[in-house]
Amino acid sequence: MRTITNDYRDVQVLNLGSGGAHGPYLVTQTGVSPRAELPRTNMYVLRADGQWVDFNAYACQGKPEAMDELVFEAMGDVMRLFGRLTGPVRVLQLPVDKEGLEAWLKRQEGRNPLESARAWAMEYRKRHPG
């Protein structure tokens, strides 16, 4: 099990734009929280405030707009944040609603995860025009 880091070389930056559009971007990293009592591998997402959070804490909410705070409009925003990330990794512990997560997983069955993310990004663009 790998511990997550603030090193840009350890992350995956997903361009959720479709049709050649650039952005929005989602920054993810799979691993274990450095302060986990029980080491468990999760997918973490980087927020604009420099904190990592378990993706499931947002997915379980059942409302796409909850994930709006997880995206970066431009790649420059991602690069600037990594330039400021110093010190130990900060992981924000948010609750994960088990029933909400199960419902979200059921809705994702048989779907390509990247295509689901792009569909969400299209809705994000409608909620945040310009």
Distance CA 63, CA 77 (A): 25
55-101: per-residue pLDDT in tens? 889 888 888 788 888 899 999 999 999 999 989 999 999 999 999 88
Question: CB-based contacts of 36: which residues, under 8 Å, 6+ apart?
Answer: none
Q: What is the largest CA-CA distance in the chain?
A: 43
Kindly give the pairing relationship between strand 91-92 and strand 52-54: parallel
Residue with tokens 């796409």: 64
pLDDT digits (tens, 9 = 90+) for 2-55: 999 999 999 999 888 777 778 889 999 999 999 888 888 988 999 999 999 998
